[in-house]
Chains A and B, each alone.
Chain A
Amino acid sequence: MSKVLLLVGTKKGAFLVESNDGRRSWTIKGPFCETWPIQHMIADPAERTIYAAGGNAWFGPAVWKTTDLGETWTHSSAGLAYEEGEEPVANAWSLAVGPDGLYAGVEPAGLFKSCDGGETWRHVAGLRAHPSRTQWQPGGGGLILHHIVTRGDDAAQLWVGISSAGVFHSADGGATWEPRNRGTRADYMPEDQRYPEVGQCVHSLVMAPGGSDRLYQQNHCGMYRSDDGGRVWTSIEDGLPSTFGFPAAAHPRDPDTLFLLPLNGDINGRYMPDAKAAVWRTRDAGATWSALRDGLPQQNAYFGVLRQALSTDRLEPAGVYFGTGGGALFASADEGESWSCLAEHLPAISSVETLVID
């Protein structure tokens, strides 16, 4: 029987929420990481290691680590710093495992890599050396690098999402980068400047399974798919209740299936459309969408779900999970068809990821 762990990053620490592959009953452990605000947690399944990225108002940024499923934790930020005189790293915002190391995205936006399991870090300086950096502007959450996409079969390829600078791609392991925002809108710019090279406010960036170059992007201004690694983006927002939302989650096996949580709009409160909660799913790469509501609150749902707070597991059928800004955690064990609430009173949830242990 498999063990399923939800890795839940919150404003007041990390939590591990555990079940078996039936995914009916869950136990909650935490808060870990000395109740530091944790922006993102991931697992390296090969090493059975869980990492948690965050920052504390007093003690600064760090990446926490447990190799015994939460029993004991260590923390490090050795090397997780810019050069003297630069604006210091305030927070660690995102994590990703690549084929040759661990990546961390930070605020102000930049990328770091660890080749020793998070003990020490080095700056992937090529990204901040990009000539567009002077144009990068902080979004509502700050100037944050909140998504990192790696390819298991190609260590040289990296994508990052920065608010609000957009998507950048490296084909050489981070030495050089190019913006990949063509086709994504910046509605907050003057009418004749809405498709700039950089400056788009990406909210979520995920890669479809299957080894193709398909990416999906939830943006502040629309929902997009790219079939060529982000060189060109196509709008797939028709059929959605809003062009605005934060997270997106790919299916573990089907590249045409994607899950979203559109909110009612960027200046309308950023909660569930009509205050009725729904996860939206496409089975055809964004051509059509359906709302999945069974078991989700259908009145007074004035909550939002942030960039990294929607995830799937790799079981069959896939589990889907999301956590709200109000501290509620919802789960589906049937690809979104039905939902249950696992927790109602956690701290504000920043991120949800999964780990399945066979």
Chain B
Amino acid sequence: MSTVNPPQTDTPNMSTPVQPAAEAATSATGVTEANGSHAHPTDWLYVKVAIALALLTAFEVFTYFESVHGWSDTALIVMLVAMMVLKFFLVVAFFMHLKFDAPIFWRLFVFGVVLAMVIYMLMLTAFRYW
């Protein structure tokens, strides 16, 4: 993966990646572009994704307390699946860098996900309807 390899340091630095100005520039979207390399998210973008994930998880847990909101089971399942898919996408796209990496990696992973969903949905419907 080596994008930019500044001199090795042994000092703690837990903030936004520090890269030489001549080699890297951070865009307004929180993505660092380095000369001759593909885009890498900044640490701040990771934090924003984590906050979104935490908020989604909090809302998911809120749906568990049916006595508070009184929503129907169908509405709950639709909302939970939507939030699950959104969380899944956020982790895969940003934390696993698929949004910024070679498309072949995205295709390989999506192929596995879709294949699993098709096979096991067919299996479950087979037991239920056939």
Note whether A and B form a binding pair: no
- Residue positions of A touching B, CB distance < 8 A: none
- Residue positions of B touching A, CB distance < 8 A: none
